[in-house]
Amino acid sequence: MWLLSARDLKVRYATSWLGYLWSVLDPLVMSGIYWFIFTVVFDRSAGLEPYIVFLITALLSWVWFNAAVTDFTRAFNKDAKLVRSTAIPRSIWVNRIVLSKGVEFLFALPVLAIFVIAAGAPVGWGLLLFPVGVVLQAILLVGLGLLIAPLCVLFADLERTTRLILRALFYASPVIYAVGDLPGALRELMAFNPLAGIFTLYRVGFFPEAWDPFAVTMSAVICLLLLAVGAFSFRRLERPLLKEL
């Protein structure tokens, strides 16, 4: 898994002049666009101040989630010969994506620290929960990967479907707005989106008022449930997967 993850990172940056900057360029550009739209163009009433820190804290996490799920759709097709010819656990092809994209997420955290300092965002005890968010997101991604990766081999149309779902999920997740900005019914419904609780764990260190124990609890439960469902489904789908490859 370490070798495959290292290979992914080397391939990504080997021919790139910007190298490490690609890990942070996407969330930086997205943060700049949304910051400009909601603070300069429109009179923003969503999110928390400083808004740029509020944005980038979730966008870094979203980029990890989006990149990993996108790669899950071609995890096995990309290395079909290697998957068929080796006896190592096939789940490694999912785990190495989570690991390599997670490393890129960790490499981007210094940029978050720079924005926190520049914007003068307060730092509180909730920062201790940041690693918990990282662990929960890794669990969520492994569970989703074990489910999505084999299904995309068996049903080719799922690759495009997954991309469409990701586009909708971005706006259905509290990235550019806070859970507290939603009306009562939608606020309770948002708690069933595991990303809501994960974003809360990332943000609470800078925004104590963002703490939502119900969303965090639901996120933990759903992440563990998806991991169990993904592991069970992967065992059932592994043999049909190898036949299809």
Q: What is the pLDDT of residue 68?
A: 93
Range of the domain at 161: 24-244
Q: Is residue 133 part of a domain?
A: yes
Q: Is 1 within the bounds of a domain?
A: no
Domain presence at residue 12: no
In the predicted structure, residue 28 carries a pLDDT above the cut 60: yes
Is residue 14, in this structure, part of any structural domain at all?
no
pLDDT digits (tens, 9 = 90+) for 10-22: 766 666 555 566 6
Considering its fold, how many domains does the chain have in total? 1
- Asked if residue 63 is part of any domain, the answer here is yes
Q: For residue 155, give Cα distances in angstroms to 83, 151, 165, 166, 198.
A: 18, 6, 16, 18, 30
Contact 242, 84 (CB under 8 A): yes
Residue 8 lies in a domain: no
pLDDT value of position 30: 76
Asked whether residue 171 is domain-assigned, the answer is yes
pLDDT at 185: 80
**Would you say residue 105 lies in a domain?**
yes
Check pLDDT > 80 for residue 217: yes
- Residue of higher predicted confidence among 27 and 105: 105
Whole-angstrom CA distances from 151 to 1, 40, 90 are 21, 43, 14
Tokens of 157: 């149309």
State residue 141's pLDDT score: 96
